[in-house]
Amino acid sequence: MPDVLITENEIEARVVELAREIDDDYATSDELILVGVLKGSFIFLADLARRLKVTHRVEFIAVSSYGESEDTTHSGAVRLLMDVRLDVSGKDVLIVEDIVDSGTTLEYLYRVLKARAPRSLKTATLLRKPDRLQVEVEVNYLGFDIPDVWVVGYGLDWAERYRTLPYIGKIDPGG
Ligand code: PRP
């Protein structure tokens, strides 16, 4: 099994803190929409949403990187595979990601949703790899900055494996 990078307890404690911050920041909002980015965010989103006291709705969006099938690294271009069902104009939108790697996906989604005139638009991610960032993208709610290692678990996969590990593990895909 993958070596542990972040334990289940550490994740839970951080999710509780993030939920508190979000509760405080959106205390006066009755229009908060969490937009989970499939597939990786599904566990983080589920845990975060269940910790929130503020009224919210859950939506999902799915994207794909061009060239993904030939190459497991991202080519830089992103396309929308599945859109949210709700009109987000005038709403408080919070994009929920599992990981920001190059930043390409989050930057793309930010632009797509911003164009729909939400009342506010913010971003949350459980993990970020500062050493890999290629595009500038603001993260408003961050779980953990991590080193440039291949991570799995808690929603993140390696060739669809390990998504439901309860912790963040690291693997060596070549080893
Ligand atoms: C991962 C992750 C982010 C994105 C981050 O998704 O869930 O959406 O890559 O990378 P970036 O910052 O370089 O854009 P992936 O394409 O692996 O799909 P999945 O969530 O369905 O596993």
Give domain limits for the chain. 7-150
* Residue 174: burial class (beta carbons within 10 Å; 0-12, 13-18, 19+): exposed
Q: Closest residue (by CA) to atom 22 of ligand 1?
A: 40
Question: Could you say which architecture CATH assigns to the domain 7-150?
Answer: 3-Layer(aba) Sandwich (3.40)
Give the list of residues 6+ apart from residue 60 with CB closer than 8 angstroms, or none. Answer: 35, 36, 37, 38, 82, 84
Distance 151 CA to ligand 1 centre (A): 12
Dist CA 46 CA 41 (whole Å): 8
Q: How confident is the model at residue 80, as a pLDDT?
A: 96
Cα 28 to ligand 1 centre (Å) = 32
- Give the pLDDT confidence of 6-34 residue by residue, as tens digits: 999 999 999 999 999 999 999 999 889 99
For the entire predicted model, the pTM comes to 0.95
Residue pair 5/172 in contact (Cβ under 8 Å)? The answer is no
> What residues are annotated to the active site?
101
pLDDT digits (tens, 9 = 90+) for 35-88: 999 999 999 999 999 999 999 999 999 999 875 544 555 556 899 999 999 999
